[in-house]
Amino acid sequence: MADMANVINQKERILSVIRANGPSLPVQIAKSIGLSPLFASAFLSELKADQKIKISNMRVGSSPLYFISGQENALENFVDHLGTREKEAFYLLKGKGVLKDEEQTPVIRVALRSLKDFAIPFKETRENEVKLFWKFFSLSNEEVKTRFDGNQNSSVEEKPKENLVDIQEDEKIKTEEVSDEKIRTEEVSEVPVKVLKESNFGGDLKNFLKKKDIELLETLSEKKKEFVGKIRIDTTFGKQCYYLIAKDKKNVSDNDFVVALQKAQVEKMPAFVIAPGELNKRAKEYISEWGNLVKFEKLEFSELEDAKI
């Protein structure tokens, strides 16, 4: 009971810091409340899941900004951290208020699709022709309408931010950055054909551990596409125990590591994540920063076949 009260208290302290300071970096929040960045990040993830706070698409260094609903305008204070093209698109959109997508250069059109904190897409229909526009985030729909000639046959249909990737595909503008964003935000449920055919992720994982000489100490949970347990690995400095979370996922995100590490800390153990998928950009950054507390191993199917022979 005392632990739960402490968790609630820490979350309230975090909310108080964000209310007072506006959009903040995890390291700033951790310092303000006297917590380690690791635990602060865990609490921030829970607050985000509870929809108590929001997270920016923009990055300051490699970290997002956490803020409370109503503090969106304060994100403008961090515009200098945008890339050159995104910054150019930001000031163009802010100055004009509304931009017609097809009238912009290809570079600006791509940049607008990256400005998810500031650029909101909408469609205007005139005489049966639908055109894509972008409005500055602080502009109201009423203000948008005043930018047009008041044609009664026109209508404004705002598109949610999460559909930016769909717009990207409709317009056939392909860039490496947007493609990476699509992979990061898209929920992928596909798994390699071999796993689907065998339907035995737990069995495949155990074969993999055996092949790697990793000792399975305890099975805590075994589902169709997830395995949780405790393992022990021989290292240069002796045997090391880990809290294992293995998932049958095609793409591994930073949130997978945050959740794994949070659960591992309860057991006072480092975390070990295994999956057949690839790490996305944020996941790689997370491992680079927290690699001493969480490890990742890719589940290689070729090695599974070797283990069965």
d(CA 161, CA 232): 44
pLDDT score, position 78: 93
pLDDT score, position 246: 94
Fold of 193-308: Trna Endonuclease; Chain: A, domain 1 (3.40.1350)
Indicate whether 261 pLDDT > 50: yes
Cβ-contact 172, 135 below 8 angstroms:
no
Contacts of 192 (CB under 8 A, 6+ apart): 250, 276, 301
Contacts of 54 (CB under 8 A, 6+ apart): 48, 66, 67, 68, 69
CA 100 to chain centre: 29
The predicted model gives 249-278 an average pLDDT of 88
More confidently predicted of 4 and 84: 84
Cβ-contact 234, 213 below 8 angstroms:
yes
From the options 1.10.10.10, 3.30.56.10, 3.40.190.10, 3.30.70.270, give the CATH code of 2-69: 1.10.10.10
Q: Which of these ranges, 114-118, 130-134, 188-192, has the smallest mean pLDDT?
A: 188-192
d(CA 58, CA 134): 18
Cβ-contact 18, 68 below 8 angstroms:
yes
pLDDT score, position 3: 61
Using one digit for the tens of pLDDT, what is the confidence trace for 12-63?
999 999 999 999 998 999 999 998 888 888 889 889 988 999 999 998 887 8
Cβ-contact 133, 98 below 8 angstroms:
yes
The predicted model gives 289-299 an average pLDDT of 87
More confidently predicted of 41 and 70: 70
Give me the residues paired with residue 228 across strands.
Answer: 221, 245
Cβ-contact 17, 32 below 8 angstroms:
yes
Q: Given pLDDT bands bounded at 50, 70 and 90, which one contains residue 292?
A: confident
The DSSP annotation for 142-157 comes to: HHHHHTS---TT-EEE
Buried b or exposed e, range 187-213, using 16+ CB within 10 angstroms: eeeeeeeebeeeeebbebbbbbbeeee
Q: pTM higher than 0.75 for the full model?
A: no
**By C-alpha distance, which of 130, 121, 134 is closest to 155?**
130
- Residue spans of the domains in the chain: they are 2-69, 82-185, 193-308
The predicted model gives 211-232 an average pLDDT of 91
pLDDT score, position 302: 55
According to DSSP, the β-strands at 129-136 and 98-100 are: antiparallel
Average pLDDT, the chain: 79
Cβ-contact 26, 40 below 8 angstroms:
yes
More confidently predicted of 299 and 158: 299
Indicate whether 173 pLDDT > 60: no
The predicted model gives 83-93 an average pLDDT of 93
According to DSSP, the β-strands at 294-298 and 271-275 are: parallel
pLDDT score, position 155: 45
The predicted model gives 231-235 an average pLDDT of 88
Backbone angles phi, psi at 125, to 5 degrees: -105, 125
More confidently predicted of 143 and 185: 143
More confidently predicted of 235 and 136: 136
Amino acid at the residue 197: K
d(CA 243, CA 228): 8
Indicate whether 224 pLDDT > 90: no
d(CA 171, CA 34): 47
